[in-house]
C-alpha cells in the first residue's frame, strides 16, 4: 500500500549563480519525495480523474504486454535481445502525460517498449515488431531495441548505450531552430551517464540553451553493475551542475511524482532551459532475457516490488473513491484481451518480403546495391 | 567559367544552397568567428549570422550526433570536421546513427546531412593526422561518400550532396584547398552523385584515381603520352555509390588497369574496384590489375619516409608499363 511504503527524503542545497535577469538558472536543490496517498491530491497536479484511469490502464498495458512478450520469447516467437521495462512503468506514464505527444519529441535507449506504449503506439504494431513482422512499428527491421514512430515522434529505440544522447539534443536543436515550441525528452539509463556522449551532449545543450530534458532512468543496475560500482558520484542528477543546468530527482516508483517532475522539467525546456532529471526506479526483471540476476538478492527484489507503481496508483484510486475494484478488474480484463489480440495480430502478420531488405536504406530509390541486380 | 580555389568553390556551394534553403546550417569547430580553420567558411558568419553558422566546442561526438538529430527533425545540417581524422571520435554517430537509423526505423525517418572536411594525407603530420577514411566509411550501407579532385566537381557535387536526402560524407583535402581551377558559372550548377568522369580518353591503359590521386593519374598519363601511349584517366568522384559501369566500359576498351589510391592497401577502394572489375570484365583483362597505394604502415613523420609512404606517379608509370608488357 502506498501509505505504508512511502518515504520522504529531503535534501536541499541551493547554489544560485544567475544574474538578476536569470535567477535560479543553476539549481542544485532537489527533493526526493514519494507521495503518500493521503497527502497527494491529483487535482493539484492538474490531473483529471479520467486521466488517472487512463494512466492506470496504460501502466497495466505496459506490464501485461511485456509479461506476454517474455512468454513469447520463451516460445521462440521473439528472438534477439528483449529488455523488459517491468517495474518502471510510472516513469514512461508520467512522462507521456506531461508531454504534448505528436508535437514534442522523445528518444530513448533499448528498453523502449514502455515509453512506446505510453506514447500511444499500438500493442499490435509493437508486438508485430517483436515478432519481426512487416506490420511492426519498424517494419521488422528494428526489433525490440529499435521501436520508432514518426507519428508519435518517438525517434527510437537505440541499442548503443549513450550513443543516442547527442541525437536527442539535435532533435531539440531543430525544435528551437524552427521555433515550433517543441521539446525533446532524451531518456537513458544509469549506465549511459558514464559515457562521454552524455557529457558532450550535456555541455552542448547547456551552451546552446536547447529545449531538452535529459532523463536518467536510474533502475539501479547497468546490466549487472550497481550504480555505486560504476559512478563515482551516485547522485546522478548532480552531474547537471557541471554543465550549469538544473538537476533534480524524482521517485520513479510513483507516477504522481514522475508526472510532477516531468511537467516541471518540460516547462523549463520550453524556455530553452535544458535540465537533468534523475528518476530512481527499479526493474524487476533481468537486464535481458538471459540474466541470472546474481548481482542482487531475492529480498531486495521483493522489497522493491512492495513499492510497485501500479499497486500504488490502484490504492490511490480506491482510497479516493475514484473508481471501484470491479471497474479496475474490467480494465485489467480489457488490457489482457488487447495483449492477446496483439499476439494474434503479430502471428498473422507476414514476415517482410525478401526484397524489402533493399528498402529503407536510402531515400534514393534507384540506389545501385552491389549484388542486387541479377545480371 | 570562373577560376576559383577549391575552398572558394566549396564555400560558393554552401552559400548558394544556404541562400536557397533556410533549413541548411553549418556547424563545426572554428567555422564561424575564426572563418574556418582552412578559411573554407570565410565570411559566412557575416552573411548568415550565428543562428546558421555555428562554432562548436571540440566535441565531435556531440556535434556530429546533434547534426543527425537535427536532420531527423527536419533540418539539413552541414557538419564540418576540421579533418576527417577527428571524425573517429564521432564514428559511433556516423556508423550507428547516420547510416542505420533510417533502416532501423523501417524508413520512417530520413537523415539529410553532409559531413564534410579534409581527408587523407597532408604532409608531415605523422600517423593520426594522415588517415584516408574513404574505405572505412564507404563500407557502410546507408552512407554516400564523395571525394572530388577539382573545384568544379567540388562545387557541383557539394550542392547535390546538400540537397540529397541521404547522409553524405564529402571528403576534401587540406593540400587541395588552394588549388585553382575553372568552375562553371551556370546558375544552380549541380553534378550527379554516382557518376565518374572520364578525364582523358585513351586506349592503352585505364588509370583510375580519386581526390589527390587523380592528379597522380593525370601525371602518369602525361608520362605515357611522352612515350607515345594514350592512357584513359578516370576520376570516380563518388566512392559510394561507385560508378563501376564507366570503369568497366573503359577496361573493356583498354584491357588493362592501374589504380592509384593513397589509402592503406588492405581492404581499400582499390581492392574493391579490382574485385568489381574482375567480376564484370575478367575476360577482357590482358594483364593483372595493379595498384599503387600508400604503404601498409601508419603514416610516418620524417620527410624521406612520408615521401616514400605516399603513392607516386613514377610508381604508377612503372605499373602501367608493366601491365602493357613494355618492360
CB contact under 8 A, B62 and A201: yes
**pLDDT over threshold 90, residue B95:** yes
* pLDDT at site A292: 85
* pLDDT at site A34: 53
pLDDT digits (tens, 9 = 90+) for B114-170: 999 999 999 999 999 999 999 999 999 999 999 999 999 999 999 999 999 999 999
- The one-character DSSP state at A247 is E
Give the sign of the dihedral formed by CA B235, CA B241, CA B243, CA B244.
positive
Share of chain B above pLDDT 90, in %: 99
**pLDDT over threshold 90, residue B271:** yes
- Host H or E run for residue B117: strand B114-118
Query: What does the alpha-carbon distance between residue A264 and residue A248 come to, in Å, rounded to a whole number?
Result: 10
Chain B nearest CA to A141, separation (Å): 5
CB contact under 8 A, A361 and B141: yes
CB contact residues (below 8 A), chain B span 66-85, against chain A: 66-75, 77
* pLDDT at site A35: 57
Q: How confident is the model at residue A345 (pLDDT cuts 50, 70, 90)?
A: very high
Contact present, A89 and A59 (Cβ < 8 Å): yes
What pairs with residue B238 in β-bridges? B146
Strand order in the sheet with B144-146: B53-55, B24-28, B76-80, B114-118, B168-172, B144-146, B238-240
Chain B nearest CA to A75, separation (Å): 24
Place of cell 568522369: B197
Share of chain B above pLDDT 70, in %: 100
Q: Which residue has the higher pLDDT, A25 or A183?
A: A183
pLDDT digits (tens, 9 = 90+) for B10-30: 999 999 999 999 999 999 999
How many other β-carbons are positioned within 10 Å of the β-carbon of residue B242?
A: 22
Nearest to B74 among A178, A201, A361 (CB): A178
**pLDDT over threshold 60, residue A200:** yes
Active site residue B60: yes
Q: How many CB pairs under 8 A join A and B?
A: 159
Give the sign of the dihedral formed by CA B43, CA B44, CA B50, CA B56.
negative
Any B CB within 8 A of A136 CB: yes
Q: Nearest-CA residue of chain B relative to A135?
A: B106
Active site residue B174: no
pLDDT digits (tens, 9 = 90+) for B54-94: 999 999 999 999 999 999 999 999 999 999 999 999 999 99
Chain A residues touching B194 at Cβ < 8 A: 368
CB contact residues (below 8 A), chain B span 207-236, against chain A: none
* pLDDT at site A21: 46
Share of chain A above pLDDT 90, in %: 82
Nearest to A150 among B69, B109, B166 (CB): B109
**pLDDT over threshold 50, residue B307:** yes
Q: Nearest-CA residue of chain A relative to B167?
A: A362
CB contact residues (below 8 A), chain A span 89-128, against chain B: 105, 107
Any B CB within 8 A of A34 CB: no
Q: Nearest-CA residue of chain B relative to A356?
A: B106
Instruction: Give chain A's mean pLDDT.
Output: 90
* pLDDT at site A38: 60
* pLDDT at site B63: 98
On whether ipTM exceeds 0.90, the answer is: yes
Amino acid at each position: 500500500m502506498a501509505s505504508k511504503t512511502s518515504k520522504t527524503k529531503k535534501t536541499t542545497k541551493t547554489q544560485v549563480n544567475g544574474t538578476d535577469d536569470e535567477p535560479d538558472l543553476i539549481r542544485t536543490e532537489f527533493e526526493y519525495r514519494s507521495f503518500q496517498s493521503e497527502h497527494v491530491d491529483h487535482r493539484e497536479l492538474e490531473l483529471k480523474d479520467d486521466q488517472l484511469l487512463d494512466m492506470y490502464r496504460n501502466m497495466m498495458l505496459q506490464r501485461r504486454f511485456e509479461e506476454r512478450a517474455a512468454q513469447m520469447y520463451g516460445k521462440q516467437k521473439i528472438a534477439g535481445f528483449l529488455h523488459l521495462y517491468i517495474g518502471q512503468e510510472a516513469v514512461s506514464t508520467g512522462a507521456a502525460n506531461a508531454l504534448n505527444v505528436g508535437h514534442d519529441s522523445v528518444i530513448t535507449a533499448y528498453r523502449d517498449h514502455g515509453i512506446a506504449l505510453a506514447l500511444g503506439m499500438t500493442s499490435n504494431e509493437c508486438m508485430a515488431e517483436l515478432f519481426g513482422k512487416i506490420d511492426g512499428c519498424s517494419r521488422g527491421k528494428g526489433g525490440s531495441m529499435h521501436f520508432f514512430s514518426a507519428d508519435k515522434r518517438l525517434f527510437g529505440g537505440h541499442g548503443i548505450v549513450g550513443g543516442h544522447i547527442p541525437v536527442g539534443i539535435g532533435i531539440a536543436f531543430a525544435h528551437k531552430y524552427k521555433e515550433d515550441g517543441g521539446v525533446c525528452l532524451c531518456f537513458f539509463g544509469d549506465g549511459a551517464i558514464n559515457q562521454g556522449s552524455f557529457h558532450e551532449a550535456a555541455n552542448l545543450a547547456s551552451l546552446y540553451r536547447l529545449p531538452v530534458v535529459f532523463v536518467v532512468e536510474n533502475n539501479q543496475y547497468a546490466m549487472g553493475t550497481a550504480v555505486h560500482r560504476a559512478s563515482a558520484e551516485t547522485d546522478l542528477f548532480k552531474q547537471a551542475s557541471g554543465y550549469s543546468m538544473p538537476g533534480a530527482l524524482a521517485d520513479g516508483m510513483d507516477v504522481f511524482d514522475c508526472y510532477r517532475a516531468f511537467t516541471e522539467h518540460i516547462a523549463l525546456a520550453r524556455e530553452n532551459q535544458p535540465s537533468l532529471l534523475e528518476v530512481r526506479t527499479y526493474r524487476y526483471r533481468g537486464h535481458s532475457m538471459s540474466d541470472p540476476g546474481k548481482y542482487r538478492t531475492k529480498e531486495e527484489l521483493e522489497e522493491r516490488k512492495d513499492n510497485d507503481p501500479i499497486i500504488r496508483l490502484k490504492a490511490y484510486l480506491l482510497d479516493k473513491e475514484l473508481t471501484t475494484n470491479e471497474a479496475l478488474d474490467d480494465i485489467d480484463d480489457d488490457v489482457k484481451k488487447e495483449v492477446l489480440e496483439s499476439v494474434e495480430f503479430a502471428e498473422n502478420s507476414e514476415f517482410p518480403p525478401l526484397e524489402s531488405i533493399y528498402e529503407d536504406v536510402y531515400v534514393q530509390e534507384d540506389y545501385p546495391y552491389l549484388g542486387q541486380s541479377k545480371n | 567559367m570562373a577560376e576559383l580555389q577549391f575552398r572558394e568553390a566549396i564555400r560558393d556551394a554552401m552559400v548558394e544552397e544556404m541562400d536557397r534553403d533556410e533549413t541548411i546550417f553549418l556547424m563545426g569547430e572554428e567555422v564561424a568567428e575564426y572563418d574556418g580553420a582552412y578559411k573554407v567558411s570565410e565570411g559566412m558568419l557575416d552573411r548568415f549570422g550565428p543562428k546558421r553558422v555555428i562554432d562548436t566546442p571540440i566535441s565531435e561526438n556531440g556535434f556530429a550526433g546533434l547534426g543527425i538529430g537535427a536532420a531527423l527533425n527536419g533540418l539539413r545540417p552541414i557538419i564540418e570536421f576540421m579533418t576527417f581524422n577527428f571524425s573517429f571520435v564521432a564514428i559511433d554517430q556516423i556508423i550507428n546513427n547516420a547510416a542505420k537509423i533510417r533502416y532501423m526505423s523501417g524508413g520512417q525517418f530520413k537523415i539529410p546531412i553532409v559531413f564534410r572536411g579534409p581527408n587523407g594525407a597532408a604532409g608531415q603530420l605523422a600517423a593520426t593526422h594522415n588517415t584516408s577514411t574513404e574505405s572505412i566509411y564507404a563500407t557502410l550501407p546507408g552512407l554516400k561518400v564523395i571525394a572530388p579532385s577539382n573545384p568544379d566537381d567540388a562545387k557541383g557535387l557539394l550542392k547535390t550532396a546538400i540537397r540529397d536526402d541521404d547522409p553524405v560524407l564529402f571528403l576534401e583535402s587540406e593540400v587541395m584547398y588552394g588549388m585553382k581551377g575553372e568552375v562553371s558559372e551556370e546558375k544552380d550548377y549541380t553534378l550527379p552523385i554516382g557518376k565518374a568522369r572520364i578525364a582523358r580518353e585513351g586506349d592503352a591503359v585505364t588509370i583510375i584515381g580519386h581526390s589527390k590521386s587523380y592528379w597522380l593519374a593525370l601525371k602518369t598519363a602525361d608520362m605515357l603520352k611522352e612515350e607515345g601511349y594514350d592512357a584513359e584517366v578516370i576520376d570516380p568522384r563518388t566512392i559510394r555509390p561507385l560508378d563501376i559501369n564507366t570503369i568497366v566500359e573503359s577496361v573493356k576498351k583498354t584491357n588493362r588497369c592501374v589504380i592509384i589510391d593513397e589509402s592503406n592497401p588492405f581492404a581499400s577502394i582499390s581492392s574493391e574496384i579490382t574485385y568489381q572489375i574482375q567480376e564484370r570484365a575478367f575476360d577482357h583483362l590482358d594483364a593483372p590489375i595493379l595498384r599503387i597505394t600508400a604503404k601498409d604502415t601508419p603514416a610516418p613523420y620524417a620527410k624521406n619516409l612520408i615521401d616514400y609512404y605516399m603513392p607516386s606517379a613514377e610508381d604508377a608509370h612503372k605499373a602501367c608499363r608493366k601491365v602493357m608488357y613494355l618492360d
